[in-house]
Chain A
């Protein structure tokens, strides 16, 4: 993974000093609440319902064991002994003190970490595929480009105060796992003629109040132009994006208002000035950064392992875990492993300090000292030997990290919701919990198969509810918490946005509603269909009919 040189380290050190000074001025009353807000937000510090929330950057979801140990220590020392991994592959602390934040940042800086631009109206953490570098279907490892773009976007002077937040995702596989179409800018890297790396670029995607999938703004751009083209897009947005109404300030609104062709024309005329200038990424810089993402020193192993096969045959619980939580790898004899942060009864994405230390240790011993955070809010060991899988499973199971539910119903995406977030209209965690309780049987979960339930506590959509096969949105009606249910959303290459099935439900109705949606699917499905396929084939009507008909008769 990327290791800081003197320049990187100096920058985060200077940031700690700058933020300490800003905090001191605020605490001394030299800065008003309104003036401090954009400053603390640029540093990931929200003022939440009970305490500030600090979002720590995990660039494109990649962490070292050392960093994970530090996060575990920080969660213990400054928080309530746990943290929350978010859909932006970052870590959120829910209970730090505002005056402690400079000290937390100072500790983070010792392990090459920070909280820069994890919030606020600026370019946020750049995300990518959690299996980058190890996925068998990968065309191009996007991590070096993600790092180059991370550096470019860090304290970018021209784009420090945009109309609204700005999210970029990059991907290097045919099958999109980075949800690039849901971002302000999405980039898919592919190989063109003569194996040259090219980029397909989407612009103006996003969830939130107005969910829109991105529009293609460039089909085939040379990789060296990634930054100059992004600057042309963001400059156009900075000048023309709306600033009078924060609900209409994302780039998606501008692209829609202008029309993608007119927007593209504007971007292209801007880009004509920037193309082939100093923003052009040099081969030397690409090579320098790429050297940090060389393949791991893999052993040369056979494709199968006898001890693994024996365990698989003799230990059904291990076999169930392997089926759900172990993924294919580019290199023979290796696998990627997902450690589930979706233990039934726990808040999705939450990890205790002890769990963080366990995962750090597992990574150290079994996966070259590195791990990843997925946007589905789980942790990944990307490079585990087949022969080590059983040991990893035993240790993960002891730490409550081996629920065999990855991709299944209880592997829900869920924002912190009204329990913590001051933006939320409704709680989301108790809904997740009640659904987990309703479906707390692994055999049944396996029978239901792959399904994504995404829960957001408000229309800001941190829980990505629009692209859940089942999406749940907390709404406020006359100061009561209600839940709107949609079905048919999907991420990936054939992404779609879910449609609301009808009137909303009270919290205690939710497990039954989900049960009825699942029952309808089980009744209607063909042998090879997953939930989303059935919804797409037969439409929403049979689902609605079952959910609402029975309601009326009760």
Chain B
């Protein structure tokens, strides 16, 4: 079981992430003999078949990929109003398409950003922009290949909850949120050190 950290405490995960089924006939792009590990910016996330085949739980709080939400938004409007809908953004999806999909991003209690693999650092920019440019104030959650070694950077990039990948100890990861006491540069949480303290 993946363990969740909210703020700096272990917390119960109330949200179920909807993961579209994999049929095996999704287009796989290969390059130089290697299977593509990262989708490029702006590519389609799921096929229509995957979107149509996704099962959406009928009760409880759910995290939906953006294409699933867009395909079902009329049906789910009341659940959005009830605070039961969050969106999980993939790192290759343009942030503008998320922003354009909602009149008010803060109608979402949670936005999650999913990384397929640790080395994908686009989630940092997405988090930063959601906080600083799009004014998102609710829970921003990092999901996917998340370990303690990203926590400090994620926190500074505006995330406030972290779903630690399965098999890793979340309790032991918590101190890493504070690996560095006085970082040099500005981020979502602070101004550059030279504006912060007198040196």
- Which residues on A are within 8 Å of B, measured CB to CB? 5, 7, 10-11, 14-15, 18, 22, 30-31, 35, 38-39, 121, 151-162, 235, 238-240, 242-245, 247-248, 273, 278-279, 282, 284-285, 288
Does B1 have its Cβ within 8 Å of any Cβ on chain A? no
Q: Are B40 and A242 in contact (CB under 8 A)?
A: yes
A162-B122 Cα distance, complex, nearest whole Å: 8
Residues in A with CB closer than 8 Å to B150 are 160
Q: Which residues of chain B are near A288, meaning CB under 8 Å?
A: 194, 199
Query: Do B121 and A160 have beta carbons less than 8 Å apart?
Result: yes
Contact with A along B68-100 (1 / 0, CB 8 A): 000000000000000000000000000000000
**5 extra A-B contacts, CB within 8 A, seeds A10-B181, A244-B40:** A7-B182, A7-B197, A155-B184, A159-B124, A243-B37
Q: Which residue of A is nearest B180, CB measured?
A: A14
Residues of B with C-beta under 8 A to A273 = 133
Which residues of B lie under 8 Å from residue A279 when comparing CB positions?
186, 192
Chain A residues near B49 (CB, 8 Å)? none
Residues of A within 8 A of B185 (CB): 151-157
**In contact, B152 and A157 (Cβ under 8 angstroms):** yes
Are A158 and B182 neighbours in the complex by a CB distance under 8 Å? no
A-B contact pairs, 27 of them (CB 8 A): A7-B182, A10-B182, A11-B180, A14-B180, A18-B176, A121-B121, A151-B185, A152-B184, A152-B192, A154-B185, A155-B153, A155-B180, A156-B185, A157-B155, A157-B187, A158-B121, A158-B124, A158-B187, A238-B125, A239-B41, A239-B122, A239-B126, A244-B37, A244-B39, A244-B40, A278-B192, A288-B194
Task: Answer whether residue B161 sits at the interface, using C-beta atoms and an 8 A cutoff.
Answer: no
Query: Is the interface on chain B under 10, 10 to 19, 20 to 34, or 35 or more residues?
Result: 35 or more
The listed residue with most A CB atoms (<10 A of its CB), out of B41, B125, B155, is B125
A151/B125 in contact, CB under 8 A: no
A11 to B193, CA, bound (A): 12
By a beta-carbon cutoff of 8 Å, the part of chain B in contact with chain A is 29, 31-32, 34, 36-41, 118-122, 124-126, 128, 133, 147, 149-150, 152-157, 168, 176, 179-187, 191-195, 197, 199
Q: How far is the CB of A159 from chain B (nearest CB, A)?
A: 7
A157-B156, A161-B119, A240-B41 are known contacts. Are A245 and B32 too (CB-CB below 8 A)? yes
The reply to whether A11 and B182 contact each other, CB–CB distance below 8 Å, is yes
**Min CB gap B179→A, angstroms:** 5
Contact present for B199 and A5 (CB under 8 Å): yes
Given contacts A14-B180, A158-B187, contact A7 B193 (CB under 8 A): yes
Of B38, B152, B153, B182, which contacts A243 at CB under 8 A? Answer: B38
Q: Which residues of B contact A238 (CB under 8 A)?
A: 121-122, 124-125
Contacts of A151 in B (CB 8 A): 184-185, 193
